[in-house]
Amino acid sequence: MGHRCCGKRKCAGVSSNASSQQLLEHNLVGTINVLEYCKRNKAGFILLSTSRVYSIAPLITLPLAVENNAYGPRLDSCSVVGLSKTGVAESFSTAPPVSLYGATKLASELLAVEYGEAFGLPIWINRCGVLAGAGQFAQPDQGIFAFWINSYLRRRPLRYIGFDGRGYQVRDCLHPRDVAALVWKQIQSPDRQVERVQNVAGGVDSAMSLAQLSEWCAGRFGKHVIGRDSGSRTYDVPWMVLDSTRAKEQWDWQPTLSREQILEEIALHAEAHPEWLEISSSR
Ligand SMILES: NC(=O)c1ccc[n+]([C@@H]2O[C@H](COP(=O)([O-])OP(=O)(O)OC[C@H]3O[C@@H](n4cnc5c(N)ncnc54)[C@H](O)[C@@H]3O)[C@@H](O)[C@H]2O)c1
């Protein structure tokens, strides 16, 4: 597996502007602090984990086909445990490398389950895909959908990075309100005897490529030329769609807000807040 570091870009905690130590302190030590709090107070713990816990090697070597300006896995020519046409399931490999960011989350998952067992705490782990909605910071690492729509509307320079610069890379999206609905169910059912770990994502119905997102923006806002960047982002994967079948079966949960509703909500918010990019990108 070959990967190049892109230097300045923030890539799952490996870039020059993000300290690896800070990442560990925030994501992992922060989790330990909260788990200790839960232990002292006999509280339950719900971890919002990430699709980034899944192994990068099988994801970047996945045979892909291009359809409608988007990558999709060629399932006829490969067999990968945990992968189906409904996406990446919980049984997919979590072998390293998963990125430093993913590793802090995977380690947090492990510790959460151990604390639960050792101290009798209810633990639920939700591996989330990309969250998207109005009011989200318009920064790429806070959610590519809000960043893209706000930037497109304001005609800021946008570039397709990596994968031949065509923008065929695919992600699914999920509204935070739908995550909240599941968390609420989990808070109310601390003793439910089901698997503790589940994917929580918009899945195939909500998945789209950056090129398709640009097409949507063009239809909504008019023309804007997207550039191509020959560089790459460390640990970037061409296709990540989570299969949330387990969450559906265990919790009778599924997304209620469609991709179109999410995109439109972000667009309306962006139009109503001309200053949003400046406000939300200052750290
Ligand atoms: N709001 C959120 O959903 C949020 C916030 C923080 C962390 N995360 C975590 O990150 C994970 C998603 O990470 P990921 O790497 O799969 O997807 P991502 O959202 O970081 O990137 C998606 C695609 O957008 C491209 N991209 C990223 N920044 C870009 C930029 N500035 N310009 C052009 N293209 C850009 C990447 O090449 C990638 O292919 C989620 O699973 C989640 O756990 C998500």
171: domain CATH number?
3.40.50.720
pLDDT digits (tens, 9 = 90+) for 233-261: 999 999 999 999 999 999 999 999 999 99
Ligand 1 nearest-atom number relative to CA 9: 31
How many Å apart are CA 90 and CA 210, to the nearest integer?
A: 25
Instruction: Calculate how far, in angstroms, residue 140's C-alpha sits from the geometric centre of ligand 1.
Output: 6
**200 found inside a domain:** yes
CA atoms within 13 A on the CB side of 238: 24
pLDDT for 281: 82
Q: What is the Cα–Cα distance from 119 to 136, expressed in whole angstroms?
A: 36
Residues with CB under 6 A from ligand 1: 50-52, 128-131, 140-144, 159, 161-162, 169, 171, 210, 233, 236, 240
Domain housing 134: 20-281
Report yes or no on 1 lying in a domain. Answer: no
Q: How far is the CA of 120 from the centre of ligand 1 (A)?
A: 35
Nearest CA to ligand 1 atom 5: 142
In a domain, 3, yes or no: no
Q: Please state the length of the chain.
A: 283
User: Which pLDDT value is given to residue 14?
Assistant: 55
Report the domain count for the chain. Answer: 1
Q: How far is CA 105 from CA 13, 52, 101, 109, 169, in A?
A: 12, 8, 7, 6, 23
* In a domain? residue 4: no
| Proportion of the chain above pLDDT 90, given as a percent | 90
Q: What is the pLDDT of residue 48?
A: 98
The answer to whether 138 touches 153, Cβ cutoff 8 Å, is no
| Span from the CA of 39 to the centroid of ligand 1 (angstroms) | 33
Residue 180 within any structural domain of the chain: yes
In this prediction, the residues of the chain whose per-residue pLDDT falls under 50 are: 1-11
Q: What is the pLDDT of residue 17?
A: 60
For residue 162, give the amino acid letter. G
| 209: nearest Cα among 258, 167, 149 | 167
The answer to pTM > 0.75 is: yes
Give a yes or no: residue 194 inside a domain. Answer: yes
Which residue's CA is the nearest one to ligand 1's atom 20? 141
Cα(143) to centroid(ligand 1), Å = 6
Pocket test for ligand 1, best of 27, 109, 171, 265 (most atoms within 8 A of CB): 171
In a domain, 8, yes or no: no
131 CA: nearest ligand 1 atom: 3
DSSP annotation string for the chain: ------TTS--TT-STTS-HHHHIIIIIIHHHHHHHHHHHHT--EEEEEEGGGS-HHHHHT--EEEETTEEEE-GGG---TTEETTEE-TTS--PSPS-HHHHHHHHHHHHHHHHHHHHT--EEEEEE-EE--TT--SSGGG-HHHHHHHHHHTT---EEESGGGS---EE-EE-HHHHHHHHHHHHH-TT--S-SEEEES--GGG-EEHHHHHHHHHHHH-----EEE----TT--SEE-B--HHHHHHH-----S-HHHHHHHHHHHHHH-TTHHHHHH--
